[in-house]
């Protein structure tokens, strides 16, 4: 069967409800490999990942932000995407690409994901990045971009279709 990236992109949707079933280590390694294969500016590779499959730690991460964290309620795995700010001034862009690669690989493997933004978000106590840094003992020179909640899908989301593509957003030659 021929691989079609556009089909995969149409199919990938944010999943916020997961089955309790733990992910096999082989699947987690494939997700991480996808993230590690992501391009980075000047090939500096400032992006790193913290894989969490401990339920108590995932719930502590959920408490690091006051909104938009429903995916962590049932996720059997969370991947925290961080970037070394001293290594690259565009770590945010590099980490975003790596996180997207992980999400696409997850979809290709039949898994669901949701991106949970941490950078520039808040908890009831402090900013979300600071809270995640405390829970996971992340050094200060690392920025915390997001947490990707990942697991086996326990909800059905319809794929996008051609009607969902807004071609008015495309300009040729000039705006």
pLDDT in tens, 158-168: 999 999 999 99
How far is Cα 48 from Cα 172, in angstroms, rounded to an integer?
Answer: 37
pLDDT digits (tens, 9 = 90+) for 28-54: 999 999 999 999 999 999 999 999 999
DSSP state string for 28-83 = HHHHHHHHHTS--GGG---EEEEEE--HHHHHHHHTT-SSS-GGGGT-SEEEEEEE
Which stretches of the chain drop beneath a pLDDT of 50?
none
Question: Against a cut of 0.85, is the pTM above it?
Answer: yes
How far is Cα 128 from Cα 119, in angstroms, rounded to an integer?
Answer: 7
Query: What structural domains does the chain harbor?
Result: 15-154 (3.40.109.10)
């Amino acid at each position: 069967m021929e691989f079609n990236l556009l089909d995969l992109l149409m199919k990938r949707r944010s999943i916020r409800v997961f089955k309790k079933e733990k992910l096999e280590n082989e699947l987690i390694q494939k997700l991480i490999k996808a993230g590690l294969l992501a391009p980075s500016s000047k090939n500096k590779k400032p992006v790193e990942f913290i894989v969490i499959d401990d339920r108590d730690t995932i719930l502590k991460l959920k408490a690091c932000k006051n909104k938009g964290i429903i995916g962590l309620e049932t996720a059997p795995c969370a991947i925290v995407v961080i970037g070394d700010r001293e290594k690259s001034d565009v770590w945010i862009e590099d980490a975003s690409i790596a996180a997207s690669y992980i999400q696409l690989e997850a979809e290709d493997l039949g898994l669901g994901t949701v991106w949970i933004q941490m950078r520039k978000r808040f908890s009831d106590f402090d900013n979300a990045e600071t809270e995640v840094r405390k829970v996971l003992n992340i050094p200060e020179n690392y920025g915390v971009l997001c947490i990707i909640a990942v697991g086996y899908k326990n909800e059905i989301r319809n794929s996008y279709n051609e009607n969902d593509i807004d071609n008015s957003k495309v300009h040729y030659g000039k705006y």
